[in-house]
Amino acid sequence: MTDADGRGHNAPCSNKDFDFFYRGLEAEQVLIQKCSSCSFLRNPPSPSCPECHSLEWQTLPLGGEGTVHSFTIHHYPPLPDFKTPHPVVLADMAEGIRLLGAMDGTAPEDIRIGMPVRFEFLRRGNVAAFRFRAA
Ligand code: ZN
């Protein structure tokens, strides 16, 4: 997909609701939606605010700090650009929302709920992405 300036991204799939998220990753930002009416933060993206139903929103870049709320270890099926088993973390971010992402650099058996994490940016193939690492 490309915008009016010809800049594009290589997200594996996107749509009108998710496009800003993948453009943010290309700029090394994890963006979430902030309601323009009531300031409610939401993630994953959605067309309207679940609190006040406003369709107006802005983006807010996350700072990257969080703690493990929960996690799972993905074994199967194999995914392009991922080694299995690989951990997938649901993190409580400092901004007060949860963010789901892959985690690298820590053995699956060493991951703990409450563990501090921080995200960093990388490319998986041609796709801009982020991953968590232990902080
Ligand atoms: Zn709202």
For 44-55, what is each residue's pLDDT tens digit? 999 999 999 999
Residue at a domain's end among 33, 61, 89: 61
CA of 11 to the centre of ligand 1 (A): 27
Place 83 in a pLDDT band, splitting at 50, 70 and 90: confident
Find the mean pLDDT for residues 9-28. Answer: 80
In whole angstroms, how large is the CA radius of gyration of the chain? 16
Q: Answer yes or no: do 87 and 131 share one domain.
A: yes
Round the average pLDDT of the chain to a whole number and report it.
Answer: 89
| C-alpha 86 – ligand 1 centre gap (Å) | 35
Instruction: Tell me, in angstroms, the distance from the centre of ligand 1 to residue 42's CA.
Output: 9
Identify the CATH number of the domain in which residue 82 sits: 2.40.50
Question: What separation in Å is there between the alpha carbon of 53 and the centre of ligand 1?
Answer: 6
In a shared domain, residues 75 and 54: no
Per cent of the chain over pLDDT 70 is 90
Residues 68 and 115 both lie in one domain: yes
80, 132: one domain: yes
CA of 60 from ligand 1 middle (Å) equals: 14
Domain boundaries, position 112: 63-135
56 lies in the same domain as 70: no
- The pLDDT score that the predictor gives to residue 120 is 97
**Based on the domain organization, do 33 and 83 belong to the same domain?**
no
The token pair at 70 is: 């929960």
Cα(102)–Cα(57) distance, integer angstroms: 27
Report angle CA 30, 120, 66 to the nearest 5 degrees.
Answer: 70
Number of domains in the chain: 2
- Given a cut of 50, is residue 6 above it in pLDDT? no
Count of C-beta atoms within a 10 Å radius of residue 108: 14
Give pLDDT, residue 49: 97
